[in-house]
Structure 1
Amino acid sequence: MTDLTTPAVPPAAPTTADKSQFDSSSARKQWQVIARRFLRHRAAVVGVVIFILLVLFAFLGSAFWQYSFTDLGFPRYQNPTADHPFGTDRLGADMVSQTIRGTQFSLQIALVVAFLSTFIGVMLGALAGYKGGWVDTAISRFIDLLLVIPSFIIAAVLVRNSFVASATGSNGGSNWLVVALYLGLIGWLSIARVIRGMVLSLREKEFVEAARALGASTSRIIFRHILPNTVDVIIVNATLAVAQAVLLEAALSFIGLGVHSPDTSLGLMISLNKNELNLHPWLFLIPFVFIVLISLSVNFIGDGLRDAFDPRQKRVKA
């Protein structure tokens, strides 16, 4: 028989620690779902494996390979052998060591471009979308102006000026970072437009209105409330920017306006050996294959991330 004299004890209200633990657990569960969804994308998994192997080859290969990219004096135009699996070039340099060096510089350029273009695009896109008014108009019209001119032409003009300056200077120093910076400065246009559109929609949501009513600053609203809801788009666009940077750098180097000596890249290797395709095809095909592998692997990763972050599948089933 129930004791009616005993007062019912109300359930304890959740504390701040309980809410924080719940939010952390929910976020962790969501990321686990995203990871599982990504791992089910076979092409993306293959892309990750290929890209990791390429990175290891580029940045650790020289420590294990017997020849350096500065070693010359081998027989010129030697066919691939056990001692020189990729053969030798017109200067008698080992093509394996040259490919390691070229892949390393191409990846360095691609990563710098991806970071710089993503950062600029996200910042300007978020600012334009949230502030609106003349700020949005000025940034949007500037983007439209740059989009009218093909990015390849802009990059060629910018890099050419740097190329001429370094060629006529006395130091003859490295220019791969200059190429990467120029490519990054023109590669942010598409992601800026995407982020702007998303921020235009997110700034009208209830949680943003609540933060604004509580007196949150513009920077806090953008960085704490809006941009975290665009992380999926940012990640996907950053991966695709890597592939685009590799191809654009290769195109510039092919016409002599990209990386130049003492640096090297896969695009420069193709440019230097473009006339050897009939007589010594491996000199042209090997760096070409590496460019294709980098571009395909990164594109596969981007496709996998896009599917994993699909907003139509974000809800986690209990």
Structure 2
Amino acid sequence: MGSPLAQAPAPEKAEASQFDSTTAKKQWKVILTRFSRHRAALFGLVLFVILVLFAFFGGLLWQHSYTDLGFRRYLPPSADHPFGTDSLGGDMVAQIIRGTQFSLQIAMVVALVSTVIGVVLGALAGYLRGWVDALISRFIDLLLIIPSLVIAAVLVRSSFVATISGGSNWLVVAVYLGLIGWLSIARVIRGMVLSLREKEFVEAARALGASTWRIVFRHILPNTIDVIIVNATLAIAQAVLLEAALSFIGLGVQSPDTSLGLMISLNKNELTLHPWLFFLPFVFIVLISLAVNFIGDGLRDAFDPRQKRVKA
């Protein structure tokens, strides 16, 4: 049986591990404190949670379904139909619930796809430099010249989409929007990695024989988590607006799927006679964008130690 002294961890390692854990907890506590004191961010967070609950659980509680089309057409807002009815006799509350759900789903997928692509390509460009950096940077510059709405329209309406969508294309639209939404975050991550690759901890990992992937994903990218989180959050708001614009011109989500942008497009001719059909989905788009942007501003202030407006 070994001695207790032999089984105990080395004092230096134990102290270092405890220090790292304590430091990380203190950092996250400071971040949460800063965020909690950001009133606009808290308002945005509460509003976003309400919108998510409304979109994904509202249909379970609301008395009417989006498939119920037997009501009188163009009923104005009333006690039984707070948002009125549409041109098909459908309850607008149920339609808004369904449209908000699809818009949020699209935005989440876009944020995920664009963040993953942007972080990986930006990190590789910044760390490897040379021809890899030149190739990725020139490709980004080329795509930035062309308006994103034009690229999205071409991709979404391609014959490939028509082949694989099978009459349901919201996921395809989301993935394609994600494929063009990574440009800004890639440039930001590239700039940060260019600076971090010269730090002592990266030189030490390189001297110990760590592979490129290990250095990038285990040592460098964890130090950019604040930028990644903020940009991923803001990508949600950008995706909602871009999808709405695409659907408004008839090149985005198509029936039987729906979205807030598609609802605006379908009711654009009702603006003067039945304005609630146009303005209600528009208001929800604005609310989602405002909520996410407020959250993004709060996260940026919380992660940035140079911020003086909110004291920890």
Q: Normalising by structure 2, report the TM-score.
A: 0.93
SS of residue in 2 equivalent to 1:311: coil
Give the count of matched residue pairs. 302
The residue that corresponds to 2:4 in the other structure is none
Amino acid at match of 1:61: G
Residues 1:197 and 2:194 aligned together:
no
Q: Judge conservation of contact 1:163–1:257 (CA < 8 Å) in 2.
A: no
Which whole-Å CA distance do the structure 1 matches of 2:160 and 2:75 have between them? 32
Unaligned runs of 5+ in 1: 1-11
- Which of structure 1's runs of 4+ aligned residues deviate more than 6 A? none
Post-superposition CA distance 1:183-234 (Å, at most 9, x none): 0000000100010011001001111011101111111111111001111110
The residue that corresponds to 1:236 in the other structure is 230
Which whole-Å CA distance do the structure 2 matches of 1:172 and 1:131 have between them? 41
Residues 1:187 and 2:181 aligned together:
yes
The residue that corresponds to 2:128 in the other structure is 131
The residue that corresponds to 1:95 in the other structure is 92
Deviation at 1:239, TM superposition (A): 0.5
Deviation at 1:13, TM superposition (A): 7.3
Q: 2:115 aligns with which of 115, 118, 122?
A: 118
Amino acid at match of 2:105: Q
Q: 2:306 aligns with which of 287, 292, 312?
A: 312
Amino acid at match of 2:50: L
Which whole-Å CA distance do the structure 2 matches of 1:180 and 1:13 have between them? 51
Aligned-residue identity in percent: 81
Cα RMSD, aligned residues only: 1.9
The residue that corresponds to 1:7 in the other structure is none
Q: Pairwise mapping of residues 1-318 of structure 1 onto structure 2 (< 5 A)? A: 14-161=11-158, 165=162, 172-312=166-306
Q: Judge conservation of contact 2:83–2:93 (CA < 8 Å) in 1.
A: yes
Judge which range, 128-137 or 14-23, deviates more.
Answer: 14-23
Amino acid at match of 2:232: A
Deviation at 1:99, TM superposition (A): 0.3
Deviation at 1:172, TM superposition (A): 4.8
Which whole-Å CA distance do the structure 1 matches of 2:25 and 2:61 have between them? 39
Post-superposition CA distance 1:48-83 (Å, at most 9, x none): 000000000000000001111111110000011111
Which whole-Å CA distance do the structure 1 matches of 2:183 and 2:13 have between them? 41
Q: Normalising by structure 1, report the TM-score.
A: 0.92
Unaligned runs of 5+ in 2: 1-8
User: In terms of Rg, which structure is larger?
Assistant: 1
